[in-house]
Chain A
């Protein structure tokens, strides 16, 4: 009878669902215990769907930031004022492309593909750090980005070296080493300007004036408005709150600005003996949300350039794929592939 059979099917499904739920609950206990014990979660381990999707979002956004972040600096490669500075800047932009590659690989361990993520970047469904929507107007901006923007990034990223997800934590260890180097180079660039001619000093001060507040915004919204923070901290993806990290950055930057001989554009910035920290002025959150929504000075320009590079490169990627297809097919029927791999060149 149809009804009996339907009943039977429904019961089997219910049993399976109960098993599935029990299994998930059991896995969740193991997962929570691993996180609590500061063990690393690895790609083949079970993880909650929300943990996976949070990580994909965060790592992808981080990778996209490296790629979009190449633009404001590459803007000055062809105008760098000495060959030494030009070499440093080229190496830095190259490192950023490399960081993008590590991070897309880390994201791919979570079951997404780089192409899929790039597509989301190009269509605006995934974001990148809002700092890169500000323009680099003078050479000193290259130094300010190194000192302040990379400095803020490092403050954010050093704790990520202990993030609960293994591939991300390991990528961050490599990234942080190179970033600290870039930051020192940025500081040294600004120092040369600050101690240079009056025009160079003014150029350095102007850059710091323009990059200071956007750098503080890199830590994200205040703790009471940060939607992902609590869960990310519970999962040990994040180790400190936005406001804690921001405070840490200010405390480090103030003495560095002094030794640079430059001022920070905040009349309320003062040492608070009682707190043992610097107090600082209010951030313009309206500007922050505005830039995040796409209305910053360079949002359109950045994404348009990225899309154009991708679209104009389509024929190159198609050629590489077609070539690989032809030559894989040929190689199957032949024992010799010399000359096609590059490894054979003496």
Chain B
């Protein structure tokens, strides 16, 4: 498949939303409290809606979601990370929603092809970020156990955060400015939650733009196997 520049960008952004939506969908029926069943499904649905618009800009949404193999997916490694405990899910959401909000705010103010999507999605991701920040506060500044778990989760996912600021061709935003704004926003939330900002590097040898190049982590292939199995078992069928 030869991709034009903007198609590649639509795929990258669409894959982020698709994959994170799938991970959040795994929570259905397992959430710690009924209100979170509603909230997590709600966020997953918003993301799936964004994914469908973005993938449709790049081609047929179902072909792209169900018939590409692991090496052809362009999502960030952050969003494919397994749910872990509730703290891991919240840390992943805090990191990603903050990024998405900054990105979509910039895209919405421009006149590029992503502006209409971004204008709608920015309202959704503001809600997602708000939800993640409030849980970060509750868990960080809750009990000793929740503080410990939230601290571990923030630390564990930190090395996947640098990849978000690798410039995407065709997406005209101020990437360095976004990184600074992200660090300020996340840092402020973590401090209010009595947590410390992780000290390690934001990328490792395998995470510096790797997901965007189709290099993923091991659990991702298994996630795709589950997601694609039925669709691939009935070639050409419509649903």
What residues on A are CB-neighbors of B37 within 8 Å? 70, 93-94, 97
Asked if residues B48 and A86 are in contact (CB atoms below 8 Å), the reply is: yes
Smallest beta-carbon distance A113→chain B, Å = 13
Residues of B with C-beta under 8 A to A79 = 226-227, 229-230
Inter-chain contact A313/B130, CB cutoff 8 Å: no
Name the B residues within 8 Å of A100 (CB-CB): 34
Q: Is the CB of A192 within 8 A of B238?
A: yes
Is A197 an interface residue when CB atoms closer than 8 A count as contact? yes
Known contacts A101-B34, A313-B32; is A319 also within 8 Å of B192 by CB? no
Given the complex, which residues of A lie within 8 Å of B68, measured CB to CB?
Answer: none
A111 in the interface (beta carbon within 8 A): no
- What is the bound-complex CA distance between A340 and B22, given in angstroms? 30
Closest Cβ neighbor of A76 among chain B residues: B230
B38–A97 CB distance below 8 A? yes
B44 to chain A, nearest CB (A): 6
Q: Which residues of B contact A333 (CB under 8 A)?
A: none
Chain B stretch 131-170: residues in CB contact (< 8 A) with chain A: 134, 137-139, 141-143, 145-146, 149
- Which of B23-31, B70-78, B209-217 contacts the other chain? B23-31
Q: Which residues of chain A (127-165) have a CB below 8 Å from chain B?
A: 139
Within 8 A of A (CB), among B206-239: 226-227, 229-231, 234, 236-239
Name the distance in Å between B184's Cβ and chain A's nearest Cβ: 15
Interface status of B33 (Cβ within 8 A of chain A)? yes
Q: Mark A176-190, 1 if CB is under 8 A from B, else 0.
A: 000000000000010
Contact of B32 among A93, A312, A326, A342 (CB under 8 A): A312
Q: Is B61 an interface residue (CB 8 A)?
A: yes
* Chain A neighbourhood of B238, CB < 8 A: 82, 192, 196
Q: Count the A-B residue pairs with Cβ separation under 8 angstroms: how many?
A: 148
Name B239's contact: one of A81, A87, A90, A320 (CB within 8 Å).
Answer: A81
B25 close to A78 (CB less than 8 A): yes
Say whether B62 faces chain A, with CB atoms less than 8 Å apart.
Answer: yes
B237 touches A197 (CB 8 A): yes
Given A87-B49, A90-B44, A313-B33: A323 and B142 within 8 A (CB)? Answer: yes
Whether a CB of chain A sits under 8 angstroms from the CB of B126 is: yes
For chain B, the bracket of interface size reads 35 or more
In the bound complex, do residue A83 and residue B52 qualify as a contact, i.e. CB atoms below 8 Å apart?
Answer: yes
- CA–CA, A80 and B28, complex, Å: 14
Whether B32 contacts A81 by the Cβ 8 Å rule is: no
Which residues from chain A contact B62 at a C-beta distance below 8 Å?
82-83
Quick check: is A322 within 8 A (CB to CB) of the other chain?
yes
| Contact present for B32 and A90 (CB under 8 Å) | no
Which residues of the partner chain B approach A9 to less than 8 Å between Cβ atoms? none
Q: A319: which of B22, B31, B143 is its contact (CB, 8 Å)?
A: B143
Are B237 and A200 touching (Cβ within 8 A)?
yes
Given A98-B38, A316-B139, A342-B134, A87-B31 contact (CB < 8 Å): no
Interface positions, chain A 293-321, Cβ under 8 Å from B, are: 305, 308-310, 312-321
Contact of A101 among B35, B141, B149, B236 (CB under 8 A): B35
Q: Does B45 contact A (CB under 8 A)?
A: yes
Q: For residue B58, which residues in chain A have a CB less than 8 angstroms away from its CB? A: none
Q: Which residue of A lies closest to B131 (CB)?
A: A342
A254 to chain B, nearest CB (A): 26
User: A260 contacts which chain B residues (CB < 8 A)?
Assistant: none
Q: A67 interface residue, CB < 8 Å from B?
A: yes
Assuming the contacts A200-B234, A323-B138, asked whether A316 and B38 have C-beta atoms less than 8 A apart, the reply is no
Which residues of B are at the interface with A, using a C-beta cutoff of 8 A? 18, 22, 25-26, 28-38, 41-42, 44-45, 48-49, 51-52, 55, 61-62, 65-66, 85-86, 126, 130, 134, 137-139, 141-143, 145-146, 149, 192, 226-227, 229-231, 234, 236-239
Q: Can you list 21 A-B pairs, Cβ within 8 angstroms, ordered by A?
A: A78-B22, A79-B227, A81-B234, A86-B25, A87-B48, A87-B52, A90-B44, A90-B45, A94-B37, A101-B34, A101-B38, A139-B239, A192-B238, A197-B234, A197-B236, A199-B237, A200-B237, A309-B31, A315-B149, A316-B146, A318-B145
5 closest Cβ pairs, A-B complex = A313-B32, A319-B142, A319-B146, A94-B41, A74-B28
